[in-house]
Each structure stands twice: as C-alpha cells, then as structure tokens.
Chain A
Amino acid sequence: KAGVTQTPRYLIKTRGQQVTLSCSPISGHRSVSWYQQTPGQGLQFLFEYFSETQRNKGNFPGRFSGRQFSNSRSEMNVSTLELGDSALYLCASSLAVRDEQYFGPGTRLTVT
C-alpha cells in the first residue's frame, strides 16, 4: 500500500498570503489528523477528521482551517500568513480514531 502523501513538499510564501496544503491518506484509512512542528513548540495538534467531520481542533487561531472530502483526502488552509506560521506541517492517517497513526513526509512552509 502507498503511504500517506502530502503536497507540496516545500512552499515559500510571503506574509499576508494564504496557503492550502493537501494530504492523501493510506487507502482505506478514514481518519486524518494534522500537526504543526516547530523548533520552539514541538509537535502540536491542529485538527482531526473522520468521515468528513471535524472531531477535534487544536488551540490554533481561526486562520487555520481544514476539511476532509468523501474520499478521505484532506486539505488544510492557513490564511493571512504570519512569520510564525513557518513550520513543518504533518498529516497522519489511521484506520479508525484510536488506531496507529501513520505520518506523511510533511510540507515545509516558509513564510518570509
């Protein structure tokens, strides 16, 4: 089976712009979660989706949003980018909510 894929892998944006990141889960996995990783804050939970429904949201401002499609693919959007949004954004998928989560390679976002 193919693993979790994320596109794009690298992205450079300027402050004030918006960005959309995409995640394709492992085939058959219905749960998708997103995490942000920075050197200062470590790995922090952003969202959790299951069957197109957001089940949980982390402590991030409303500029961060996401969605899941009927084929379980997920996107996250960050609007009005700030320098502090520079990070590695990781997507993970699992068969069900409390199962092993398998991570994609991440999207490295740099905001200048």
Chain B
Amino acid sequence: SQQGEEDPQALSIQEGENATMNCSYKTSINNLQWYRQNSGRGLVHLILIRSNEREKHSGRLRVTLDTSKKSSSLLITASRAADTASYFCATAPGNTGKLIFGQGTTLQVKP
C-alpha cells in the first residue's frame, strides 16, 4: 500500500493544550495536504505545503515537512473543543492530483 502512516491514531487533550500529529509517507511527493473531518462528513482543507517548503502557518496551525525523512507534522496550538475531529494527511505524488491519505488521527479536545 502507498498509504501514509499517522501517529498517534488517537489523541485526547484538554482545551488550551497543544496537539501534535505526525504523518509519514513512502513515495516522493509534490505536495502534502492536511484535512479535518467531523463525524464522517466532508473533508475540510486545512493547509497545503509543497515539497520545497519546510514550514507553513495558518492561524493556530503549524505544519512542517521533512522530505528527507518523508514526514510531516501538524501542530494545533491552544486547542478548543471545536477542534475535536479526525485529521488526515494526504500526499500528492508526481504530476498528479491523486491524493493518498493516511488513516488519520482522531483528536478529542475536552472542555
């Protein structure tokens, strides 16, 4: 399988704490995207980081990419109960729009 691995599979934290999720992948990529999904609904696009970028920020989100280790991390700072969701990383290999998803990290933020 070309799917990535996400770690941890589940994460439970208190409101206000930071949450870090990691993603590893197998093939060389053009970009890596992070998504959020609430209760089996549609995926919400969070951030895209290209293979020539090392770090990207968007609001309370910080994404890093290490192409030498084929890994990425998503940091959510000052988490809120509304951040409770599943988070997926998806890689786009080569010149294609085909996204390969990891199994996701389920994040629970307790109020």
Query: When the two chains form their complex, are residues A106 and B92 in contact, meaning their CB atoms are under 8 A apart?
Result: no
Interface of A is mostly: strand
What residue of chain A has the Cβ atom nearest to residue B96's Cβ?
A: A56
Instruction: Report B19-43 residues with CB < 8 Å from chain A CB.
Output: 30-31, 33, 35, 40-43
Residue in B3, B95, B97, B99 with the greatest tally of chain A CB atoms within 10 Å: B97
Query: When the two chains form their complex, are residues A103 and B97 in contact, meaning their CB atoms are under 8 A apart?
Result: no
Query: When the two chains form their complex, are residues A101 and B41 in contact, meaning their CB atoms are under 8 A apart?
Result: no
> Chain B residues near A100 (CB, 8 Å)?
33, 45, 48
Q: Tell me the bound Cα distance from A36 to B7 in angstroms.
A: 22
> Chain A residues near B100 (CB, 8 Å)?
45
Q: For chain A, which range describes its interface: under 10, 10 to 19, 20 to 34, or 35 or more residues?
A: 20 to 34
Q: Tell me the bound Cα distance from A26 to B96 in angstroms.
A: 19
> Chain A residues near B92 (CB, 8 Å)?
98
Q: For chain B, which range describes its interface: under 10, 10 to 19, 20 to 34, or 35 or more residues?
A: 20 to 34
> Chain A residues near B3 (CB, 8 Å)?
42
> Chain A residues near B95 (CB, 8 Å)?
97-98
A83 within 8 A of partner (CB)? no
What residue of chain B has the Cβ atom nearest to residue A91's Cβ?
A: B42
Query: What does the 1/0 interface line of A96-112 toward B look like (CB < 8 Å)?
Result: 01111111111010000
Instruction: Report B69-87 residues with CB < 8 Å from chain A CB.
Output: none
What residue of chain B has the Cβ atom nearest to residue A31's Cβ?
A: B97
Query: When the two chains form their complex, are residues B42 and A104 in contact, meaning their CB atoms are under 8 A apart?
Result: yes
Query: When the two chains form their complex, are residues B99 and A33 in contact, meaning their CB atoms are under 8 A apart?
Result: yes
Given contacts A33-B99, A48-B98, contact A103 B44 (CB under 8 A): yes
Interface set of A (CB-CB < 8 Å, partner B):
4, 31, 33, 35, 37, 42-45, 48, 50, 55-56, 58, 88, 90, 92, 94, 97-106, 108
Interface set of B (CB-CB < 8 Å, partner A):
3, 30-31, 33, 35, 40-45, 48, 88, 90, 92, 95-104
